[in-house]
């Protein structure tokens, strides 16, 4: 009896270890879950969205692995994102924290924002008004913004949100994306410290090596505005319509 009991405990421990290893492998080479803590990607992504990121979309770097061990440089099986991809990456200006933005510029591209309109290689990315939007930021404050459909070169369309067309972020210098780098912007154009900010406050140019993966779909979403102890409110806070929706 004692041997059988000991073997049972050993089998349980092995099962837990194997399950942990499988989970690590899946997170490293296939899919990893992320949550959205800020409003910089409104209206595409909302605070409280939970999504899966495909780790194989752009190949693998040391940032693909847990704790980003410095085992090698560059990317294995690497490929560049497409303009319009929503990508997760490590921000070198913020202790390599996970960030999520939209890739609007590839190596060699000329990027500029003039009067709120994005220009790629001298050509404007047309935007079409889509009415107003009311969203909640990371501080729980309601934000009223105008919503547009923006179309990038290659006829890739997505939603953006804006409060106006004034200010530095809406009237930038022309940026030339260096080789091995990308230009990333938040869809919430007036509330995103992205590649337009080169002074260390934002992302600056994004090294391709820092890519973690491409955001694929939302698997859960919740507007956690009620106090945690109001359990009866929990089902009402789930954004059922966003569950299992693709990201574009």
Catalytic hit among 61, 101, 195, 221? 101
Burial of 221 (0-12, 13-18, 19+ CB in 10 A): buried
How many Cα atoms occupy the beta-carbon half-sphere of 84 within 13 Å?
14
Q: Could you confirm whether 101 is annotated as catalytic?
A: yes
Helix (H) or strand (E) holding 118: strand 117-120
User: Cα 245 from chain centroid?
Assistant: 15
- Print burial letters for 147-159: b (CB count within 10 Å at least 16), e (below 16): bbebbbeeebebb
**Rounded to an integer, what distance in angstroms lies between the CA atom of residue 248 and that of residue 42?**
12
Between the alpha carbon of residue 139 and those of residues 47, 79, 163, 218, 245, the distances in Å are: 10, 36, 18, 22, 25
Note if 40 is an active site residue.
yes
Helix (H/G/I), strand (E/B), else coil: 16? helix
Cα–Cα distance, 46 to 30 (Å, whole number): 24
CA distance 151 to 82: 13
Query: Do residues 202 and 195 touch, judged by C-beta distance below 8 A?
Result: yes
Burial of 130 (0-12, 13-18, 19+ CB in 10 A): middle
Choice among 38, 40, 61, 192 that is catalytic: 40
Residues tagged active-site: 40, 101
């Amino acid at each position: 009896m004692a041997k059988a009991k000991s073997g049972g405990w050993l089998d349980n421990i092995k099962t837990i270890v194997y399950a942990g290893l499988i989970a690590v492998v899946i997170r490293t080479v296939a899919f990893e879950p992320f949550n959205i803590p800020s409003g910089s990607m409104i209206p595409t992504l909302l605070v409280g969205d939970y999504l899966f990121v495909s780790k194989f979309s752009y190949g693998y770097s040391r940032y693909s692995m847990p704790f980003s061990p410095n085992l090698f440089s560059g990317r294995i099986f690497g490929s560049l994102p497409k303009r319009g991809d929503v990508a997760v990456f490590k921000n070198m200006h913020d202790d390599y924290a996970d960030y999520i933005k939209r890739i609007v510029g590839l190596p060699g591209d000329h990027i500029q924002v003039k009067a709120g309109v994005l220009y790629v290689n001298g050509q404007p990315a047309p935007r079409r008004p889509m009415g107003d939007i009311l969203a909640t930021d990371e501080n729980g404050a309601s934000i009223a913004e105008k919503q547009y459909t923006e179309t990038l070169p290659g006829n890739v369309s997505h939603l953006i949100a804006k409060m106006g067309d004034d200010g530095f972020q809406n009237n930038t210098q022309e940026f030339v994306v260096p080789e091995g780098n990308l230009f990333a912007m938040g869809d919430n154009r007036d509330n995103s410290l992205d590649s337009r900010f080169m002074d260390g406050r934002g992302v600056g140019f994004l090294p391709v090596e820092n890519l973690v993966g491409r955001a694929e779909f939302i698997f859960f979403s919740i507007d956690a505005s009620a106090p945690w102890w109001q359990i009866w409110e929990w089902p009402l806070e789930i954004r059922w319509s966003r569950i299992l929706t693709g990201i574009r």
